[in-house]
Structure 1
Amino acid sequence: MDMLDRDLLFLVGLVFFPLAFVALVSAWADRRFPWAALILVVLGGLVVVWAQLTHPGGGYDWRTIPDLLIETAARYWPR
């Protein structure tokens, strides 16, 4: 296992996008600027793009994300 698990970082970056949407809706409802949403989108985007660009074999295929989630969870699940 790598010291820096690209699969895990890719999945964490993908989780940031729904959280950004929630932060955006919350900021819109409170009539304030969506700083948290902006930060989450930027961080999530940077992590996902970095993981895509540095992934051995040329990047991730979006159709395999469910399999990637299961495989990554299985690596970190205590035995």
Structure 2
Amino acid sequence: MVLDPDLALVVGLGLVLFSSLSLVAAWIDRRRPWVGGVICAAGLGLVALAFSTSPEGYGVTSLPMVIFGVLGRYVL
């Protein structure tokens, strides 16, 4: 089973977005951001996987279409 590059990109961007909240909360509380760092690394890994396996590549203008296409395919 092969992971869809568009799905990997959207999930990776979501993980990076949510981990940034954890990283900021740990920074404010003066704690070590272990969980946020691991989740951010996993998200960045998925984004890198998506960029390396996508046959046509991604651009800034194509990101909204990719995000809404994945939401339409897998959520709705």
By relative contact order (CA 8 Å, sep 6+), the higher-ranking structure is: 2
Runs ≥4 residues deviating over 2 A: none
CA contact (8 A) 2:12 2:44 kept: yes
CA distance in 1 between counterparts of 2:35 and 2:65 reads 30
- Structure 1 unaligned regions, length at least 5: none
Between structure 1 and structure 2, the one with the greater Rg is 1
Q: TM-score, normalised by structure 2?
A: 0.84
Q: TM-score, normalised by structure 1?
A: 0.81
Gaps of 5+ in 2: none
* Corresponding residue number in structure 2 for 1:62: 60
Percent of aligned pairs sharing the same letter: 34
